[in-house]
Structure 1
Amino acid sequence: MTKTIQSKEMNDVLTSLFSKYGFTDEKAKLLAEVHTENTLHGVNSHGINRVPFFIEQLKLGLINKDIESEKVESFGCIERWDGKLGSGVINAIKCTNRAIEIAKENGMGLVALRNTNHWMRAGYYGWMMAKQNCIGILFTNTEPNMPAWGGKEARLGNNPLVISIPRKKGHIVLDMAMSQFSFGKMNEYKLNNQSLPFDGGWDTNGNLTRNPEEILTTKSGLPIGYWKGSALSMVLDILATLLSAGKSTYKLGLEPHEYGVSQIYLCINPNTYNDNELQEKLTEEIIAYTRDVTPTQPNGKTYYPGERSLINKIKNEKEGMKVSEEIWKKIIDLLNK
């Protein structure tokens, strides 16, 4: 069952909730804005649905609400930061802004962050870079939740990857996990008592399944592109670990809970090339070419990455957001407890 919530109501409730759990007014407002914005974009799995998970992490002492990330090393336009187990969202916003700042000074900026926590919807930070007219490449490692191709036990993270490209007619933002379905999305299907539309991982008997609950239990998601997704997951983990000098998926898997992940924030300033009109022309050519096809469904069309996310936001701002009654009740109970 779902109910409709307006963005202002959600933002106000979440601001009060985060304040109740000890965040400063500024941080509480920022956390509320991020979770609300993610839900507006239709990504409930990494917006409103993640709030009870976030509060549980606070209660377990996995998140230090009083600390933010700090720069520990600098190598020209490359920096290493330590998240000090602070809020993943707060740390991510700080490091995204820093990468943008370096890129606008040098053409390119990279911030490698270690010892941080879940950043919720990865695409949020890609949108941040695109809104500053910058190209972004961002990724994180996670606890083990996928088997390497050819193996049975989970040894890889589903390591979300974001690539964002600014565009006048609507920013292009790719936001994808290395698993066929993100684990947050599978939780959403489970919450709605729905099966996955395609196989999403393996059950306890080692068979591919569309049952999200079984995959969440085994922590054995199906890599995108099979062996190709498996390889891509591995190299993203290696890069995040080496560049940040942080924890790998292997090290994260030694703990009972996921915390202290490693992340990369790479920002490129396309204005460095002084050919913005050409860049826009080339981008529009590519999008127009992909649209000029016979649709597979009646009245169907192709979409560029991020297009449907923006459509969702416009619709939800006007009509309100559909959220799980169960999740909303948990949040209200946490606020009133």
Structure 2
Amino acid sequence: MTEEAIRITSEQMQDVFYKLFVKYEFAEGKAKLLAKVFTESTLVGVNSHGINRLPLFIDYVEKGLVKIDAEAEKVATFGSLERWDGNLGPGIINATKCTNRAIALAKSHGMGLVALRNTNHWMRGGTYGRQAADADCISILFTNTQPNMPPWGGKDSRIGNNPLVVSIPREQGHVVLDMSISQFAFGKINDYRLKGEKLPFPGGWDANDELSNDPEKILTKERGLPIGYWKGSALSIVLDMLATLLSAGDSTSKIGTREFETGISQVYLCIYPAVFGDKNLQQKLIDEIITYTHDVAPMNPGDKTYYPGERSAMTRTRNLKEGIPVNSNIWKKIMALSS
């Protein structure tokens, strides 16, 4: 049985989240940052990695899997490349810190890379792509995960849906690609389950090894479908290799030996395009591509094409005006946790 959606203002949501994190003894600054990021993810319509995931985050805190006082620390420097250890601190705190460091390295060297190990889920990866773009940097960011997809042709999950983020700063609206290497992120599949809806396309395998668009059947065994079938499978493996190699951290295979997803590895690469000294040309080239892709007849009347990040910006504007739609059952859980 599904629950109806209700609308909450962003101010109310952020205030409730902040009080919840303070209740769980996060320092004031960390509580504010966590509340802001969870709210912003929900505001742009990514409830799966915003409000819907907050109860699980609190569960990880209660289990001691997320160390509330820990945060990422630098362990090695190689010029414009650095290795950091997350010390199992909150993924949002660690990701924000490492993105800032990659930005600083990029502004000093033209390009900077921070490889982070031993951290927790960063929630919505696009948060950090936008953070880099706001600082006038291009970013390429990715993370490994627990095994939740079969390698192409395999029966059991051995690879992760390893989200990939690419962002490009743009005055009229940043370009922000934020995608998992599975056809649907598992949080998104759960969104459809909460709504009582089927996926618009197959998203994984059911217990009978058949591709399915039924969220309940896919979530039973968590065997997601890679984007591009065998190509997505290969991309997932390579991203896991890079995150593990660069951070000297744990791979999906090691993460999969644990009961819970923790101790993951991530990469934060930033480029400072101002070093080229041709900002106007850069913006012209980006706009040229966007205009060309916008200017196409839709297959279905009334449809249109979008660049990565465009629809989330539109959702943000609408939700600021109308309130953020959230599942009423999820809101009840959060209010219960806050009381």
Q: Structure 1 length normalisation: TM-score?
A: 0.99
For the pair 1:284 / 2:299, whether they are aligned, the reply is no
Matched, 1:299 2:334: no
Q: Percent identity?
A: 62
- Per the TM alignment, residue 199 of structure 1 is displaced from its structure 2 partner at its CA by 0.3
Give the whole-Å Cα distance in 2 for the aligned partners of 1:160 and 1:257: 18
- Post-superposition CA distance 1:36-59 (Å, at most 9, x none): 000111100101111101001011
Query: Does residue 334 of structure 2 align to residue 325 of structure 1?
Result: no
Tell me the CA shift for residue 277 of structure 1.
1.0
- 1:32 aligned to 22, 32, 35, which one? 35
For 2:68, the equivalent position in structure 1 comes to 65
Alignment of 1:232-243 (within 5 A): 232-243=235-246
Q: What is residue 319 of structure 2 aligned with on the other side?
A: 316
- 1:300 and 1:219 mapped to 2: Cα distance? 32
Give the equivalent residue in structure 2 for 1:9: 12
Counterpart amino acid of 2:240?
D
Matched, 1:90 2:93: yes
TM-score by length of 2: 0.98
SS, match of residue 154 in structure 1: coil
The one-letter code of the counterpart of 1:2 is A
Instruction: Give, in whole Å, the separation in 2 of the partners of 1:138 and 1:294.
Output: 33
User: Corresponding residue for 1:127?
Assistant: 130
Match for residue 272 of structure 1?
A: 275
Q: Which residue of 1 aligns with 2:265?
A: 262
The size of the alignment, in residue pairs, is 336
Counterpart position of 2:171: 168
Q: What does residue range 137-152 of structure 1 map to in structure 2 within 5 Å?
A: 137-152=140-155
Structure 2 counterpart of 1:155, one-letter code = R
Task: Compute the displacement of 1:69 (Å).
Answer: 0.5
Other structure's SS at 1:104 match = helix
Q: Say if 2:190 is the partner of 1:187.
A: yes
Report the alpha carbon displacement of residue 299 of structure 1 after superposing the two structures with TM.
Answer: 2.1
> Per-residue deviation at 1:234?
0.4
How far, CA to CA, are the matches of 1:194 and 1:293 in structure 2? 30
Tell me the amino acid that sits aligned with residue 130 of structure 1: A
Q: Kindly provide the amino acid, as one letter, of the partner of residue 242 in structure 2.
A: L
Structure 1 residue 230, shift from structure 2 partner: 0.3
Q: What is the rounded CA distance, in whole Å, between the counterparts of 1:228 and 1:122 in structure 2? A: 22
Cα shift readout 1:47-103 (whole Å, capped 9, x = no counterpart): 111110100101111010011110000000000000000000000000000000110
Q: Does 2:217 match 1:224?
A: no
Letter in 2 for 1:128: Q
The 2-side partners of 1:325 and 1:281 are apart by: 44
Question: Secondary structure, in 3 states, of the residue corresponding to 2:158?
Answer: strand
Amino acid at match of 1:46: H
| CA drift at 1:325 | 0.3
Moved over 6 A (4+): none
Deviations 1:284-334 (CA, angstroms, capped at 9, x unpaired): 111111112111121221100000010011111111100000100000001
Structure 1 alignment gaps of length 5 or more: none
Aligned twin of 1:104 = 107
Gapped regions of structure 2 (runs ≥ 5): none
| Rounded Cα–Cα distance in structure 2 between residues aligned with 1:26 and 1:280 | 35
Tell me the equivalent position of 2:121. 118
Distance 2:217 2:331 in 1: 25
In structure 1, C-alpha distance between the alignment counterparts of 2:217 and 2:76, rounded to whole Å: 43
Letter in 2 for 1:266: L
What SS does structure 2 have at the residue aligned with 1:204? coil
Instruction: Show CA shifts across 1:131-165 (max 9, x none).
Output: 11110000000000000001111010000000000
Cα distance in 1 for partners of 2:174, 2:132 equals 10
The residue identity in structure 1 corresponding to 2:263 is G
Query: What is the CA–CA distance in structure 1 between the aligned matches of 2:229 and 2:46, rounded to whole Å?
Result: 25
Deviations 1:210-261 (CA, angstroms, capped at 9, x unpaired)? 1112211211000000000000000000000000000000000000110000
Give the whole-Å Cα distance in 2 for the aligned partners of 1:301 and 1:63.
42
Query: What SS does the aligned partner of 1:303 have?
Result: coil
1:91-130 C-alpha deviation (Å, 9 max, x unpaired): 0000000000110111000000000000000000000001
AA of the residue aligned to 2:124: R
Secondary structure, aligned partner of 2:66: coil
Equivalents in 1 of 2:20, 2:335: separation in Å?
A: 8
Deviates more, 1:6-15 or 1:288-297: 288-297
Tell me the C-alpha RMSD between the 2 structures. Answer: 0.6
